[in-house]
Structure 1
Amino acid sequence: MRSSRHQRLNRRKVVLFILIILAAFWGIHHFTATSSRLKAAWNKIVYTSNNNVAIAVYSPKTHRTYTSSNVPEHKFHMASTVKVSILAGLLVKQNGFLSSHQSSLAKQMIEASDNDSTNKLFADLGGQEGLQSTFNEFGMTDSTANTSWGLSTTTPKDQIKLLNNIFYKSNILSSNSRQYINNLMSNVESDQLWGISASSNHFSLKNGWLEYGKEKWIINSIGYVKTESGNSYTIAMYSDKNQSMQTGEEVLNQLARVTEPILN
């Protein structure tokens, strides 16, 4: 009796071990297949562009971040995408509470990308020092704050860290703060409907655009996409040295369009 029970127990352990190995193998295979498909689709766009361009995407299905860039060590000026960091930092600083005036400014800053509103909230955050503290709080080690907030620098992969705190789970932002940022990013004005929004009708985004010196047009788009099948992902796309705003937008639109079917 005891020997029979012992044998059954051993068989169960063996079966369980085999199932664990198969699950791990499936996870690695799925990650590799997704990575290969994304890289193949992205690189046709990234490496045929005359501009500097980089993309990062996080999939909660694989718990992985995928990246591509034709300038791997390059840090991009954030332009208006930094406004999400400013709002997140201010919510953390003020324990999730904004005054009615600050709420009005935040709505203008995110939905209309209003710069005057941003200047006031940037000051409330503590300027450059407060913004750098925000980057540090969210583990954004490749992001550097500037006294001119739009000239702060970052990488797409760093932005994914912030976006994941907003759209998935966070030990830094409260659930109310996360939902508040999401709501604003889901209601941007129509002149911002490019970049991430090119791939889906279900998105939350903040775009950035700036004509600046040798970098010509800086065109960026960050946010969250929910696919038709119910999957989702966070995505950050940055570019500079675009000849025009329109050409920069089109590169990001192309990247967004090839990403969604793979992660759907």
Structure 2
Amino acid sequence: MNRKTSLTLLLLLGITVMAHTVLPAPGIADDAFPHARPRHVPPSVSPSKAIPTVPLRSPPAHAQGPEHAARAALDGLKPFEGRYALAVVDPSSGRTFTHGASTEAFASASIIKVDILAALLLQKQDRGTSLTEAQEQLASRMIRFSDNDAAQELWVCIGRRQGLDAANARLGLTAAHAGQRGPWGLTQTTVHDQLALLKAVFEDDSPLSTTSRAYLRSLMSDVTAGQDWGVGAAGSPTSVPVLKNGWLPRETTGLWVVNSIGIVEYAGRSMLVVVLTDGQPTREAGIALVERTATAAVHTLVDQV
């Protein structure tokens, strides 16, 4: 084969090779043609080998503030019957904590006796007079022994419901506090009304004079043995209970109303505490509920600060 023939064959072979080679069209990226340019393709991640995600968790109750911790402590108590409402005020800060049926009304039972005496003392202040010896004896029996006959006599002295409503309007309680019909023990109240009463009894900014407040406190700190249960259970072991309790079986249902109000001294702090309950199967069950809730709330609120 001569040289001219060889060149002709080589030219024909080159044209044939080019005819079978596909080139990318103008304007199309190279990666549209995977064989035109080698490229690195990252390996796919199998779902079973994916990086696990960490679920978001709420911070512990104590890290969210004392009020949140107190609610968690109260919600964690054992089941109970009936209903309850609780309120705590820290006088040093003015902060108020409430829980349970705190916007609902309850029968007062014998805690209204503190209100009756506060109304009588306010009336005496207005007149510039003091309690008579007979009234002092009645007041002592009413608060220290929860004597109902003594309470009835002083109820008449203040002008019954009209007198109590007038006093409560000045003490910071709602006007409807004594607006219901029926015996004084069935007068409806709320934890907010009872906090207002406790503030009037134990704080300086009060319509009650220093002498009147000291007198009320002296009686509430000397309740007879057997009646010193209630919110005082939340206090330090060496503290003296300063409180008034109320208990009342309802004739229609046989269930109990059990209430407690007072000032509690715990870990160097003074706290105003109210617990109202009803629908309790027994008086003892109501007392246990009052003491458990008061202790859980006060201790958590103080310890978490």
Could you state the TM-score of these two structures normalised by the residue count of structure 2? 0.71
Contact 1:43 1:68 in 2 (8 A): no
Aligned residue for 2:226, secondary structure, equals helix
Paired residues, number: 231
User: 1:35: which partner in 2?
Assistant: 67
Partner amino acid for 1:219? V
Gaps (5+ residues) in structure 2? 1-61
| 1:242 maps to 2:280 | yes
How far did 1:191 drift?
1.5
Residues 69-98 of structure 1 show CA distances to partners (whole Å, capped at 9, x for unaligned) of 1x3442000000000000000000111721
Cα pair distance change 1:209/1:66, threshold 3 Å: same
Secondary structure at 1:191 match in 2: coil
Is the Cα–Cα contact under 8 Å of residues 215 and 240 in structure 1 kept in the other structure? no
Deviation at 1:199, TM superposition (A): 2.0
Residue equivalent to 1:123: 156
Cα distance in 2 for partners of 1:81, 1:249 equals 14
Partner amino acid, structure 2, of 1:74 = E
Q: Secondary structure at the match of 2:118?
A: helix
Q: Distance in 1 between matches of 2:103 and 2:98?
A: 12
What amino acid does structure 2 have at the position aligned with 1:84?
A: V
Question: 2:178 matched to which residue of 1?
Answer: 144
Q: In 2 relative to 1, CA 249–171 (structure 1 residues): closer, same or farther, beyond 3 Å? A: closer
CA apart distance, 1:158:
1.3
The answer to whether structure 1 residue 101 and structure 2 residue 134 are counterparts is yes
Supply the AA of the counterpart residue of 1:180: Y
In 2, are the aligned partners of 1:111 and 1:187 still within 8 Å (CA)? yes
Question: In structure 1, which of residues 81, 86, 103 is the aligned counterpart of residue 116 of structure 2?
Answer: 86
Aligned-pair identity in percent equals 33
Deviations, residues 84-137 of structure 1 (Å, cap 9, x unaligned)? 000000000111721111001000000000000000000000011111222222
- Give, as a single letter, the amino acid of the residue that structure 2 aligns with 1:36: H
Query: What code does the residue aligned with 1:126 have?
Result: G
**Higher mean displacement: 161-170 or 196-205:** 196-205
Give the corresponding residue for 2:258: 219
Q: Secondary structure at the match of 1:233?
A: strand
Contact 2:88 2:298 in 1 (8 A): no
Counterpart in 2 of 1:232? 270
Equivalent position SS for 2:141: helix
C-alpha distance in 1 between matches for 2:65 and 2:208: 33
Q: Say which SS state the counterpart of residue 161 (structure 2) adopts.
A: helix
Q: Which has the larger radius of gyration?
A: 2
Aligned-residue Cα RMSD (Å) equals 1.9
After superposition, residues 188-199 of structure 1 pair within 5 angstroms as 188-199=223-234
Paired residues of 2:161 and 2:178 also in contact (CA < 8 A)? no
Aligned residue identity for 1:134: A
Runs of 4+ in 1 over 4 A off after TM superposition: none
Correspondence for 2:219 among 162, 178, 184 = 184
State the distance in 2 between where 1:221 and 1:182 align: 15
Do the aligned partners of residues 61 and 42 (structure 1) sit closer, same or farther apart at CA in structure 2, a change above 3 Å counting?
A: farther
Distance across 2 between alignment mates of 1:120 and 1:256: 32
Q: Is the 8 A contact 2:199 2:206 kept in 1?
A: no
Picking from 246, 250, 260, the partner of 2:298 is 260
Match for residue 58 of structure 1?
A: 89
